Amino acid sequence: MAKDGSELEILQEMVSELKVYFTELTEERVQASVRANSPLTYMSLVVEPQVSDKKSYPVRWITVLLSVIMGALAALIFIIHKERLGRQNN
């Protein structure tokens, strides 16, 4: 009789564990169903490329300004370097 009681307790424990597992699976299924049936609020829409009407170029004045600044800095560094070399030789 004691053996039957312990087997019953084991079976009851297994049933309760299966209930918990079934509840978790049901929850996951409901969440997946909600995600699948919900309207998309974001979407990547890929469209065919179109040729633009006007060619795009970089803004010319920015290119010129950056070139002038870089040239001035290079000249300044060269002059400072030349001055230091001249002082060291004297």
* Tens digits of residue pLDDT in 42-61: 666 778 888 888 877 778 99
Q: How many CA atoms lie within 13 A of 14 on its CB side?
A: 6
Q: Which of 70, 74, 53, 73 is nearest to 62 (CA)?
A: 70
Mean pLDDT throughout 6-22?
93
Per-residue model confidence (pLDDT) at position 90: 66
Q: Is the pTM of this model over 0.75?
A: no
